[in-house]
Structure 1
Amino acid sequence: MKVELPLAQATALLDQSSKGAGNSNAALNLIIDRLRTDAMQADRHRIESLLRTLELRLDPPPELATAVAQARQLLEMEPVDHTRPSSSYVRILRGLATRVETLRVSAATYASAPEGADVAPVHERLGRTAEAHGGNVCWFHHDRGLSDWPLWDRPGWQRIQRLVQGRWITLLTVDSAADLVPPMCVGEPQWGRRGLETWLYGWGIRLVCRAEAEAGAPR
C-alpha cells in the first residue's frame, strides 16, 4: 500500500515545523511520522475488517488459523506513541496485512432485482465487495420481481438459506439492507435487518452490505 500526503498538507507541516524547530530535519521527521501514522492506521483498519470475516471460519486450515492468531496478537501490541510509530512496526504490520489479504473464506452473493433486470452487473459488484472483505464467491443467487415477498418465501433466498444451514459459506454480500426487508416487515425486529444479522451470525456468517461498505460504514 502506498500512502501519500497531499501537497498542501505537506507544505503546511513543513511551514509549521520550520517555524517551531528552525531546521529542515525536524520538518522532514514530522512528515515521515505522519506518513507512518497514516499507513499504520490504514493497515490496522484493513486487518481488523478482514479478521471479522476470517475468524468466523469453522475448522480453519492451519495456515489461516496461524495467520489470524498472529494478526490478532499484533493488533493487541500497539505502539507506545500512536503519532510516532517505529518503521519496524509499520513494516511488520504491512507484511501481515499483505498476508491476511491473501486468505479467503467461501462466500455467496444475493440480489433482489426488478422483473427482467440484468443481475450480472449486480453480482459482479457484490463479488468485488466480497473479495474486499476476505471472501471468495462460490454462489450467486437472486430473485426478480419479488421485493414485496417475505424474504424466507423467495426461491433465491431459500437457496441462500440452504447454504447457510449447511455451513457452506462464511460471508454473504448483498447490495443493500433494503433488499432483505420487504415493506410489510419494516419495523418488525424478528424479520428486520438486525434479526437477520443475528440469525446469520448464529450460523457463523458475516453479512456485508455493499452500499454501506463503500460508504465507509463499519459493516
Structure 2
Amino acid sequence: MVADLEAPRPVVSHEVIHAGKIFDLVGDVVDLGDTQVLREYVAHPGAVAVIALDDADRVLLLSQYRHPVRSELWEPPAGLRDVPDEELVVAAARELAEEADLVAGSWWRLVDFFTTPGGSDERIRVFLARDLRPVADADRHTRTDEEAGMVPVWVALDDAVDAALSGRLHSPTAVTGVLAAAAARSRGWSTLEPVTA
C-alpha cells in the first residue's frame, strides 16, 4: 500500500528571514546525510476547509478574491488554524458558521493534504459536513475584508467535479475536497471517518 512517510531530517540551523502577519518566510539548513542544503519555505499555521453538502448533494462554494493569483476563486468555507489548541473539526465548524452562516449536524474527516510541499509547510484538513441548518440570527458573524464580498452558490456535486476536472476550478481546497467527496460517495461513504464537532 502506498503511503507518505513522515521522515524529518536533522535541521542544522533555522532562520526567520521575514516574520509576517500570518506566516513567516524561514530558511533551514538541512542535513541530508551526504550533504547539507539550504531550504527556504513559508512556515504556515495550517488551515481547515469544509465540503458542505445539502440533502440534494449540492456543495456550497464561495467566491473569494485571492490577491496572489489575482483571481476570484470558487472555494469551500475555509480558514486558518489561528486559535491556539483548537481542535480541527471545531475550527471547521467555526469557519462554516462565520463564512456561510451554517451549522452542521454531522461531520467526517474527508482528506488531508499539503498545499505546496516544495515551498510551504501548510497542511489542510478537509471535512465533510451534512445535516445543515442556518446559524441563529444572534450568532451571525460580521464578515470583513475579502470575506465581505463572498458570494455563495450551491452546485451539484457532479457539476463541481466537472468544473474541477475541466480546469474551471483552481482552489486546492475546492478541487481536492470536491474530488474526495465524489470518490467517497462512489464508495457509499464507507471510507469516511466520523468526527464530533
Q: As a proportion of its length, which structure holds more strand? A: 2
TM-score, normalised relative to structure 2: 0.27
TM-score, normalised relative to structure 1: 0.25
Q: Which has the higher contact order (CA 8 A, sep 6+)?
A: 2
Task: Give the structure with higher Rg (CA).
Answer: 1
Q: As a proportion of its length, which structure holds more helix? A: 1
